[in-house]
Amino acid sequence: MNDDARLSLTDYLTKHYANLRRRLTRVLGNGDLAGDALQDTWLRLHGREEEGPVKSPGGYLVRVAVNIAVDMQRRQSRVVSFDEVSALLEQADPAPNPAQTAEIRSDLDQMVALMDRLPPRRRQILIMVRLEQLQQKEVAKRLGVTVSVVEHELRRAHDFMDQQMGRYKK
């Protein structure tokens, strides 16, 4: 843009600022956005090198300002507001806190100690079914016992663990 065209557009923007702002406010639906867009339009006029005369300075300036306003709205839609950040920070963290972690470790230690007190076959069946997640039929086959033996041992292991863990929790 040559200096004469830039000076002409700057002069037009200055003299017709109120009218341009009203037009932009109608188009954009926001007076503050219209004012910010016109200010950025003035800055853009002084930083851009384009060639050619402008036949309709008012139309040109409104078009530039609308384009700037659209860009501003796009940028703002990508930005998270302070309230949204605050709401995110207030959400509970699903990870256990240090006290909960210590309690979980303590419970786990108690369970391991209790499992060590089980008879060997009962402990092995409990581990295979609950920790290794094997089917009772598969456990029976591997240990060379019937499925009813596996069911019986598993039930006794559960009863023992429930009874003993209940004592520790009281």
Confidence band, pLDDT 50/70/90 cuts, at residue 49: low
Confidence band, pLDDT 50/70/90 cuts, at residue 17: confident
Confidence band, pLDDT 50/70/90 cuts, at residue 13: confident
Q: Is the pLDDT of residue 6 over 90?
A: no
Which residue segments constitute the domains of the chain, with CATH numbers given?
3-88 (no CATH), 98-169 (1.10.10.10)
Give the pTM.
Answer: 0.44
Alpha helices in 16-146 (DSSP H): 17-28, 31-47, 57-78, 82-90, 98-117, 120-126, 136-143
Q: Is the pLDDT of residue 15 over 80?
A: yes
CA distances from 46 to 3, 6, 37, 97 (A): 9, 7, 14, 56
